Structure 1
């Protein structure tokens, strides 16, 4: 029993290991110690006491596992500590590699690295000569074939610059794609020729040496990368250059990037493997490190040396840009481009030092994805700018029917371009981060959150597009109805007022519905919002009853067509022209130019002087001694003359209506006439007719009474009037004393004194 108790801890740990590493034990079941362990475990399980102790022990281990995991999580190093550890590890690796390089060089010159302990110089020289012949033949074939293909590049460049029938950007993309295809064919032919030379002309016939294979594979990869760079910085062919830079700048950057690619590519893909194979792996690793450090130093020197030059070029390009977003982006990139370049080369160096086995393929693939993504984003943005970024021009007929459609579209385009460019920028950034392993784009999109976010963004975009298209369509239809040049002709005042009100109501309703649908689509519960809006509306209804009355009265006024914009009306005691008509008030400009705003709640009666037709009603008084029929004829003659007037004859709807004598007034006989006119012209017609009536009355000698005064000198008791003591003064004397009074003497005392009349309507 004591022996079994002593074996209990061993059995417990064995069982734990079996449970954790069951597959490993299953694979090693045939091992010599496995049978003894299984027998001991079976013996422990047969005893109830040891079995219970084993169960208790396993439960204790299970309970302690979460606490240990939590302690481990708490003890996980922070990001600064991990960065410090990575930096320390890289520095240690560099030190070890330098030490290994020194030892390898010492061993190379002391002990030799051949199989028999000596360095075989003859074999080394032969291998170097064969490799040199392969390199020379491959490079010569590449230069000759590229020289033969030069006319093709020239013609493609001329076509992209001067071709017709396509947009310049589309021609550029097609020309660059064809040139890249020709460039790839040139590299492929040179690669195939190099393989043939290495197989049949150099070394043993029919065999391709490892050395030649390393170079040819490196040649294929590096020249393809250079061909990709030439699509951006084609120095000889301006029409095949994707980036809009000068030929000198393109030549400089093309030459510099080609040198960098050749140095790093041939060094890591040819020199390092050969050193590993023929000299020492340690020496090869050290040589690779030195190559990368040299390439990094060269790249940093070039970037810092061209920092200000490229910054000025980007600022000049930004000054030529018309869109604000593009200008700001270019100015920001001009200040920070060197930081991105230094970060890129630093990441490449760190990856090469920390992951030498797979760093080069990863860096090449990530760089290629980055270049392609950025290039595609730039091309799409440029294509959109050339396609819809300029001012939209509609046809003459469509612009005549819909006069506001073109300016409205041109006002929407810059906003749409800014949104699309922002989406393109975000997409490019996400793809670039995914290419470098900083963000798992595919995994994020495969997740529920990623798919949900993309779906919501697409839905919101479609909703906004549909809302904008609906507004454009309906607003254009309203403008079509309001345009006097369309098939409907000049719209009536009522149609103008109702359509204007409908357009405003449509805008408010569309904005509200779109906002509600967008909020619901992005996951916001709009139920409380709608309920709150209902409560708020109820509170506003109770607190602003006057406003509600204004709106309701305004609706009925519009339905009954009581007034329209431009009508002369009397509303709320104010008479004038209705300049602005809303759903709750009317703006009136009176004769003095004063602008009145009359709310509809204060309107009891609407007097409209502009509905269907109007009348000029005139009453003309003549003296009692005049002939009424002669006066009526004079009025008719005046109307006939008015009917012949080019200015006013179009406003007359019916012949003159003579109502006759309407009153025998105190000092005149009044005759009423009425002239039916078009609405709004009754005042002008009335003024012109009054002028003609005065002229015709004067020509006929018909007196129009005016105010006069009768001088009464009184009578005596017998009823006789005493003579007036009137003296006639000379005209000059009357003028001297400033008096206009005439003094007259009665011819005899028995005659009545003369009356001095001041003609008028009163005695």
Structure 2
């Protein structure tokens, strides 16, 4: 109540100044009374505690109620920019008309002599500073040349690191050149021009603008070094670098000197309104100039980027370059439109804001490109292991070279996302620091790092275990050539390990990102049970395959008969076996259809041969020749080491229709019985021919028929003696033909007589 009593006289005082003494006396009375003073203090503290919350709630509700939509905000911004442009143009017209239609007093107050002197002094400062800058830069040219040559041809460092180091050193020298020219200009302006020992405002404006603009140009020269190829950060040609360096330098000079020198001088000597309007015209002119240059070079730069995209080795880089080639001019136009809008809506702080945002954007993009290029040159090249390690672990090098491109793609994606976020933060479109400080940002970054670590650990575990398995399988590790069983089981274990590792890694990653894997595990169990009932054949394949592997029924490389198919087992899985038969056909036989496995390569192999001789030949002599053929085989360098035991002669196994069959058995190393059998058959034939032992072959009797009188029809035949009669003439009789006689048509077509027949 005391506060109300105090507020009413105060309001009355504002309405009527004559009521001031009663209000002061009332306040004095309230403060003199200790009890009323204490009540007033308590009431003020209570209101102070309630007022901020009420004001905040009221402000929030009013802001929420009055916040316009995005299209309305864009419309308001466009309207404001158009209104500012119109205001600036009208101010220019008024200022110019005021200059030309000013009063005589204004014309007489303008000191032409002082203005001329100031202009001459400023011109001398500008000339001295520029000449000094050119001289110092000319003296530094050999240093830049040497640094560029070392960047191109130096040794001992990564090319990207060497380029960055040389560019940083050249930039430091460039900054030093600008600083020396700036100091020299200050000395000239202070001691040689105008009043000695004093630096005029005009000279200070130019020198400050010179320092800022030349430092910006030095930064541009880091990107587009047209004269020194080894100091150019961007991978473009010298002509392209010269063009863009010259164009950007002109734009920086136009805007910089116009806003930092011309506009302040016009505002000081002519009219502030005119200076502000000239600044607006300078920005509009720079905007139009930039738009013309961008549109003029749109097609040329697009073609250059497309050419680089075709040379890119990675698909992601190729697609990104192709997309940027078609949209780069849109980004450039959006940038210049945004700069113009900021300049018109925020003329007080637009230039520093745009300058720092642009520098941060360029620095972020360049750093991202350099990091990506460094990673490409460091880990993007093909990894080469030592000969010894490549011999022991033959699959390690291909596996590493298959992992590196995928890892490089992931890292490049992370770099791209980071660059985009930093650029958006630089222009105020995204609060990167606030997002990272928030709980959501910290949680996302933490989960991403955790997932990355999990994937790296899983890849390292797989790489180590797979390399260990290859170490066991390699004969160069000191353990000798592994057995076929070891090769098969280790290959199956490697496949099972890959499946288990992928499953566990997927589960851990899902759990790490916040997905409850309990229902997934339960669902997988139910799904497995359903698959077990619905795919009994598949389950039978797997169970049978497990027992076949446990019992070591066959291994990769064995010659087997499985499911009625005979061939080499090329691939064994937990469900089926791949068989390559003699004709080259590849068969996949599921284990559920396997009743019997016939393995021809267990411990040893037998060549069982049966050799037929004629009935008149001596059996003992034939057996002796078979033994001699075995001795020849044993002496062979190609097949002698494959024989495990002496020749086993089983004896006569059959008295066939036209031959006496003798069986022999040769015991060989596994899988060599076929090659040994072929070689032994050859030697047996050679021995039998040498000993004159006949190997019977089928005989054919030709019957020409008889007529009713018992006479045979005429036949054109010629009787030839066989080699057997030539070898044993004593066995031939005149009244019976020799064995092996061949009847061949007479080429002279002579009609034989009955005696010939």
Q: Which interval holds the TM-score relative to the shorter structure?
A: 0.7 to 0.9
Where structure 2 has 5 or more consecutive residues not aligned to the other structure, the ranges are 12-22, 701-709, 720-735, 740-757
2: CA distance between counterparts of 1:628 and 1:182?
A: 106
Query: Is residue 2:80 matched to residue 1:89?
Result: yes
Match among 445, 449, 459 for residue 440 of structure 2: 449
Match of 2:404 among 392, 410, 413: 413
Q: CA deviation at 1:487?
A: 3.7
In structure 2, which of residues 523, 532, 542 is the aligned counterpart of residue 541 of structure 1? 532
Instruction: Map 1:563-574 onto structure 2 (within 5 A).
Output: 563-572=554-563, 574=565
What's the secondary structure of 1:616's corresponding residue? strand
- The residue aligned with 2:298 is 307
Give 1:654's aligned residue: 645
How far apart are the structure 2 equivalents of 1:501 and 1:302? 65
The answer on whether the counterparts of 2:600 and 2:671 sit within 8 Å (CA) in structure 1 is yes
User: How big is the shift at 1:438?
Assistant: 1.0
Coordinate RMSD, CA, aligned: 4.4
Instruction: Please say if residues 374 and 428 of structure 1, whose CA atoms lie closer than 8 Å, have aligned partners that are also in contact.
Output: yes
In the alignment, which residue of structure 2 is the partner of 1:582? 573
2:221 corresponds to:
230
Question: Normalising to structure 2: TM-score of the pair?
Answer: 0.80
The answer for the alignment partner of 1:439 in structure 2 is 430
8 Å CA contact retained: 2:613, 2:693: yes
Structural mapping, 1:406-555, within 5 Å? 406-555=397-546
Residue 566 to residue 76, structure 1, CA distance change in 2 (3 Å): same
Residue 19 of structure 2: aligned partner: none
The 3 A distance-change label for structure 1 pair 588 and 336 is closer
- Structure 2 residue matching 1:202: 3-state secondary structure: coil
The structural deviation recorded for 1:653 is 1.0
Displacement after TM superposition at 1:291 (Å): 1.7
Matches within 5 A, 1:715-730: none
Q: Which of 119, 126, 142 is matched with 1:151 structurally?
A: 142
The answer to whether structure 1 residue 78 and structure 2 residue 78 are counterparts is: no
Deviation, structure 1 residue 556: 2.8
Aligned to 1:349: 340
Match of 2:282 in 1: 291
Q: Distance in 2 between the 1:73 and 1:522 partners?
A: 35
Partner of 1:219: 210
Q: Say if 2:130 is the partner of 1:139.
A: yes
- The yes-or-no answer on 1:206 pairing with 2:197 is yes
Q: SS at the partner of 1:553?
A: helix
Given the superposition, is the C-alpha separation of residues 32 and 463 from structure 1 closer, same or farther in structure 2, using an over 3 Å criterion? farther
TM-aligned CA deviation for residue 686 of structure 1: 3.8
For 1:618 and 1:475, the matched residues in 2 are separated by 46
Does the 8 A contact of 2:6 with 2:27 survive in 1? no
Q: What residue is the counterpart of 1:35 in the other structure?
A: 27
TM-aligned CA distance change 1:621 to 1:38, over 3 Å: farther
Q: Deviations over 1:255-306 (max 9, x none)?
A: 2211211111112122222333344332222222122122212222222222
Q: Residue in 2 aligned with 1:179?
A: 170
Check the 8 A contact 2:209/2:256 in 1, yes or no: yes
Match of 1:122 in 2: 113
- Tell me if the contact between 1:616 and 1:685 (Cα under 8 Å) persists in the aligned partners: yes
3-state secondary structure, aligned to 1:208: coil
1:191–1:37 distance in 2 versus 1, CA, 3 Å: farther
> Residues 12 and 574 of structure 1: is their aligned pair in 2 closer, same or farther, counting only changes over 3 Å?
farther
**Counterpart-to-counterpart distance in 1, 2:551 and 2:341:** 81
1:703: Cα distance to partner? 8.6
For the structure 1 residues 116 and 577, does the alpha-carbon distance in structure 2 shift closer, same or farther, using more than 3 Å as the test? Answer: closer
- Give the total of aligned pairs: 695
Cα distance between partner residues in 2 of 1:281 and 1:64: 40
Match of 1:723 in 2: none
> Are 1:254 and 2:245 matched, yes or no?
yes
Contact 1:112 1:119 (C-alpha < 8 Å) held by counterparts? no
Matched, 1:193 2:184: yes
**What corresponds to 1:714 in structure 2?**
none
Question: Displacement, 1:417?
Answer: 2.7
C-alpha distance after superposition, 1:392-434 (max 9, x if no partner): 4444333333333333333333333332222222111111111
Seen in structure 2, the aligned counterparts of structure 1 residues 567 and 364 have a Cα distance that, compared at 3 Å, is: same
**Distance across 1 between alignment mates of 2:625 and 2:527:** 70
Say if 1:618 and 1:87 are closer, same or farther in 2 by CA, change over 3 A. closer
Deviates more, 1:613-622 or 1:306-315: 613-622
Quick one: distance in 2 between partners of 1:34 and 1:513? 83
How many angstroms apart in 2 are the aligned matches of 1:680 and 1:622? 29
Matches within 5 A, 1:295-374: 295-374=286-365
Aligned-partner SS, 1:164: coil
Change (3 A) 1:182 1:112: farther
What is the CA–CA distance in structure 2 between the aligned matches of 1:127 and 1:270, rounded to whole Å?
14
The residue aligned with 1:27 is none
What residue number does 1:280 align with?
271
Cα contact 1:111–1:117 (8 A) shared by 2: no
Contact 2:609 2:663 survives alignment (8 Å): yes
CA distance in 2 between partners of 1:521 and 1:37 (Å): 71
- CA gap 1:592/1:311 in 2 versus in 1, 3 angstroms: closer
Work out the CA distance in 2 between the residues paired with 1:321 and 1:448: 40
User: Is the CA contact (8 Å cut-off) linking 2:605 and 2:671 kept in structure 1?
Assistant: yes
Task: Report the CA distance between 1:626 and its aligned residue.
Answer: 8.2
* Whole-Å separation in 2 of the counterparts to 1:735 and 1:206: 142
Gaps of 5+ in 1: 19-30, 710-728, 739-754, 759-763
Residue 723 of structure 2 corresponds to none
Q: For 2:114 and 2:256, how far apart are their aligned partners in 1?
A: 26
Look up the SS of the partner of 1:249 in the other structure. Answer: helix
In structure 1, what is the equivalent of residue 745 of structure 2? none
